[in-house]
Amino acid sequence: MLSKNDASAALLAPEQVVGSAQHVPLLDGSQCAYVNLDNAASTPVLREVLQTVESFMEWYASVHRGSGFKSRVATRAYDDAREIVARFVGANVHDHTVIFGKNASEAINKLAHRLPLAADDVVLVSLLEHHSNDLPWRATPARVEHVGADAQGALDERDLDRLLEKHAGRVRLVAVTGGANVTGSMPDIHRIAVKAHAAGARILVDAAQLAAHRAIDMGPVDDPAHLDYLALSAHKLYAPFGCGALIGRRDTFEQGEPEYRGGGTISYVSLDAVDWGDAPERDEAGTPNVVGAVALAAAVQALQRIGMDRIARHEADLTAHALRGLARIDGLRVYGDTDPARAATRLGVIPFNLGALPHARVAAVLGAEHGIGLRNGCFCAHPYVAHLLGITPDAATQMRARIAAGDRRGLPGLLRISFGLYNTRAEVDRLVAALATILQHGPRGHYEEDRASGEFRSVGWSPDLAGSFALQREP
């Protein structure tokens, strides 16, 4: 673990993380430093990344096939970004290719389109998945079956073994998260890879939640423990400039046709023939997000300089500290693994509920009265949250009917805190104190729940959002 002094501080000074020193208005008319504990959704941008982008913008131009000097500079930066991202995840550029896109969701959808799956094939998807690593597979011809989870939300590998045996010879892919965005649970992806490959299947790891917190090594393709495909998003890697990446076996993307077609995807076109280009170009139709790719590459290099092991130790310390603090609040329930001694074996993502108080109301009070940002709801992982909460099929049917009727009030869900490398123990203590105050004394303001969204808003308080930032301004 970190030393006491190291553990109490962030890994980066506030000025190295854009917006980390920002103050926000509170219900009582005062202001306070904002505490961002919603990093599992999106991280802020590192100052170093922003500076790299600003420097690159002087040389921004359309990439590939441009003869001008700026185009050549931009092309080199874009191609370098591929190599940098590949190295970050331990991919061999001869066996793997890096395809840039909008985010991890698009990356997984692309793979679902590009894998040649048939109606007799089976795709195994874990119950821990974000919708982005579940719904795309349901749209393929293959049969999708879900691998269960235990009471703490960890992947049930015995169920995986059962399904691999049940569908022996038919499983084409095992899709699993590298780190659950709800509980922080980390399946042993390399052990799962060995099982998948032994069954004749390949493995996809959704690393959107994992990549900013742990070192990743996809490994050589002749290693039974290698990872065939991996998806990540820059907006969770301190580079929110609209880029993501699919890193996968080159032999997959040298075959077949892309789902998006257009400029840059071909080697030859006539009125009656099309020859597709090589990987990865055939899967990047149109002008790519060069700025996003540069930002992503700058971010992963910054993380490597800080040290992925150092980041992991820091966040494990924060997680253990938070679990100990939350355990002292009577009536607060943490879901998933609650043991601080095992903090190093999971990500710094902690879901909980505060007594019988509605999760959406608690989230609103934390924001309006304490300047703390976190997330509440089901985190784009409805089946997983339903499992953790023990929601019965009958209750789920009733919830679905209410949502269809436009009423989201009182829907079950969770609160979630998630750490970044810039968070501190002091911020954790501030959260714990705020939760204790809410439970003991209630909110200071009066809050009403919106029927359509299920969100709570403080009655009579309207903070000046446009005064902080607005695109539309009066002339």
Give the whole-angstrom CA distance, residue 7 versus residue 49: 25
Residue 350 structure tokens:
């902690």
Q: Is 232 helix (H, G, I), strand (E, B) or coil?
A: strand
Catalytic residue, from 32, 243, 378, 380: name it. 380
Contact (CB, 8 A) for 411 and 395: no
Q: Which helix or strand (DSSP H or E) is residue 88 part of?
A: helix 69-88
Q: Radius of gyration (Cα) for the chain, nearest Å? A: 23
Query: What is the per-residue DSSP string for 398-465?
Result: HHHHHHHTT--TT---EEEEE--TT--HHHHHHHHHHHHHHHHH--SS-EEE-TTT--EEETT----H
Q: Letter for the amino acid at 133?
A: N
Residues 6+ apart with CB under 8 A from 263: 285, 286, 287
Q: Which residue spans within 236-281 are E strands per DSSP?
A: 244-249, 266-270, 273-276
Partners of residue 417 on adjacent β-strands: 350
**Cα–Cα–Cα angle for 280, 246, 206, rounded to 5 degrees:** 165
Query: How many residues are present in the chain?
Result: 475
- Spatial CA neighbour of 235 closest among 105, 18, 42: 42
Give the whole-angstrom CA distance, residue 30 versus residue 316: 33
Contact (CB, 8 A) for 18 and 260: no
Contact (CB, 8 A) for 122 and 138: no
Residue tagged 């089901």 (tokens): 378
Give the whole-angstrom CA distance, residue 121 versus residue 115: 11
The answer to whether residue 380 is catalytic is: yes
Which residues are identified as catalytic? 380
